[in-house]
Amino acid sequence: MPSGIGPSRTRLISGRAQEVLTRLADASYDLVFIDADPIDQPDYVAEGVRLLRSGGVIVVHRAALGGRAGDPGARDAEVIAVREAARLIAEDERLTPALVPLGDGVLAAVRD
């Protein structure tokens, strides 16, 4: 236990995200990390927010698509999906978001 986190505090769950996420208990997780195909981000964000307990953090990798998500002229399916995921987070009054301009963008939000 070099990290100081006991084995009962973490678990690895294998399976397709769409199937596994819906079976997890509401407000039971401290961290939800989304590193998925940008097309699926809105669905995962909706499920991820549901899973977060107060004080928990949701992190979305590839949240800016290397700047494409902020380009008004970009309208492909990936960009539209990433913008929708960001909108879901921005409009959720329970969340305090921050966009980190690192790599393809990291969007993190803390649940109140």
Write the pLDDT tens digit of every residue in 29-45: 999 999 999 999 999 99
Beta bridge partners, 95, equal: 111
Q: What is the pTM of this model?
A: 0.89
Residue 104 annotated in active site: no
Write the pLDDT tens digit of every residue in 77-105: 999 999 999 999 999 999 999 999 999 99
Q: What domains, with CATH codes, occur in the chain?
A: 26-111 (3.40.50.150)
Of 29, 36, 59, 61, the active-site residue reads: 61
